[in-house]
Amino acid sequence: MNLSICPWKYGKRWVYSITYDEALADLHRFAVPMHEEYGIPGHVEVVVGQMGEIRNIGNSSFNGYRHMNGTELRDLIARGWGVGNHSWSHEVIAPEMVDREIGRAKEVLEEALGEPIIFYCSPGDNTNMAEHVLEACRRHNYLGAMSLTDALNLPGDELFWINRTALHDHYYPPFYSAYDPYRNIRQAQEMQGWIIDYCHCPLETAVHPNKDCSEAQLRQRLETVLSEGGDAVWCAVPEEALSYHLMRRHAQIEVVGRNGTHDDDANDQHYRIALPDLPEQVPYRSLTLEVSVPAAWCRDPRVSADGQELAAEVVRPGVLRVTTPVRDGTEVEVRESPRS
């Protein structure tokens, strides 16, 4: 088989996303303008039962700050951000509470935003990643669940336990730490990982040093991602990274007819991509493909998908790369370059 699917979109080596739990309006003071400046999309996790209201949850460090309302969340979506459900109440979710915390919260959020919600994000700690919660997430058609486990996500991983890197000034005792803007990046480069940072609402100083970073630390992190990542990092909203992950895992490539290779004189290669069992709520449906071709085909390469000419680039000798929308049954054709 000469056609393969890249681990991540555009053939990028690793992926970077960042999430802001609680979706506080004060994100507009530092975080949102910083994201605009660097062109990186962010993601907010909404406590749906207090959308638009002043936070009043137990003894939360963020009580007194205001949660964004529907209009403000729609504004973030228009800027390329994404939105997840951070439960209805931010309490420990007992089995009898899942309909409200997972089901009703999703409905209300979708109604307010006019957008499907595909992420659940565990409030508090991993207690809310309990089996009955994750089972409810699957039943209510979520596509992923975010935990508070500090680790990378790999191209083959399960999506109902997504790891997030805590972007906090320092960690709770007894695991004291210092802020590290390079956290998990080297490993992401090596293992083709997907980093999802999380914090809350970076301000002049961290509101709570074990739960947040300062705006200066956030800037340091985003600059480090860009300087370490260069052209190899894909900065993507979690919805798009997750969609790509699912597309890659569901796609099945079939060779159609006879294919031109080094030892075959056919003048084209023809493939069909099937997507059996792709969940229907997957919002973004593209794949990045690499195809091995004879050297002569790399001069002004000719690649099309469903009859549409694609812009192919030569990434290595004899290897072309394209990114294209893919549906169940998409046909990809690679042809010998024309000679003048």
The answer to whether 163 and 191 have CB atoms below 8 angstroms apart is no
Q: Closest CB to Zn ion among 18 and 235?
A: 18
Question: Burial code of 290-310, b = ≥16 C-beta within 10 A, e = fewer?
Answer: bbbbbeebbeebbbbbeeeeb
Tell me the residue ranges of DSSP E strands in the chain: 3-5, 14-21, 43-46, 82-85, 119-121, 144-146, 165-166, 194-199, 233-235, 252-255, 268-274, 286-292, 302-305, 308-310, 313-316, 319-325, 330-335
The CA distance from 149 to 156, in Å, is 17
Q: How far apart are CA 305 and CA 248, in angstroms?
A: 17
Question: What single DSSP character describes residue 88?
Answer: S
Closest CB to Zn ion among residues 61, 141: 61
Which of 200/270 has CB closer to Zn ion?
200
Residue among 123 and 229 whose Cβ is closer to Zn ion: 123
CB of 21 to Zn ion, least distance (A): 4
Q: Minimum distance from CB of 109 to Zn ion (Å)? A: 15
Contact range with Zn ion by CB under 5 A, out of 117-125, 158-166, 245-253, 311-319: 117-125
197 touching Zn ion, by CB under 5 A: no
Among residues 7, 123, 181, 202, which is the contact residue for Zn ion, using CB under 5 A?
123
> Quick one: 21 or 26, whose CB is closer to Zn ion?
21
- For the CB of residue 111, give the shortest distance to Zn ion in the complex, in Å: 22
Three-state secondary-structure class, residue 74: helix
| Contact present, 92 and 124 (Cβ < 8 Å) | yes
Count residues binding Zn ion (CB under 5 A): 2
Cα separation of 227 and 230, whole Å? 6
CB of 44 to Zn ion, least distance (A): 11
Given the rule CB under 5 A, which of 8-16, 118-126, 295-303, 309-317 is the region that contacts Zn ion?
118-126
- For Cα atoms 286, 247, 299, give the angle at the middle one, nearest 5 degrees: 45
Q: Which span (14-22, 29-37, 273-281, 302-310) binds Zn ion, by CB under 5 A?
A: 14-22
CA distance 129 to 116: 21
- Cβ closer to Zn ion: 61 or 304? 61
Q: Quick one: which segment of 24-32, 115-123, 207-215, 234-242 binds Zn ion (CB under 5 A)? A: 115-123
**CA separation for the pair 231, 183 (Å, rounded):** 19
Region near Zn ion per CB under 5 A, out of 28-36, 120-128, 167-175, 280-288 = 120-128
Q: Which is nearer to Zn ion, 218 or 305 (CB)?
A: 218
Q: Smallest gap, in angstroms, from Cβ of residue 274 to Zn ion?
A: 40
Q: Which residue's Cβ has the minimum distance to Zn ion?
A: 21
Member of 21, 197, 215, 336 binding Zn ion (CB under 5 A): 21
CB of 45 to Zn ion, least distance (A): 7
Question: Can you tell me the distance from the alpha carbon of 115 to that of 75, in angstroms, rounded to the nearest whole number?
Answer: 12
- Range in contact with Zn ion (rule: CB under 5 A) among 48-56, 122-130, 147-155, 332-340: 122-130
Torsions phi, psi of 299, nearest 5? -85, 115
Name the residues that contact Zn ion, by CB under 5 A.
21, 123
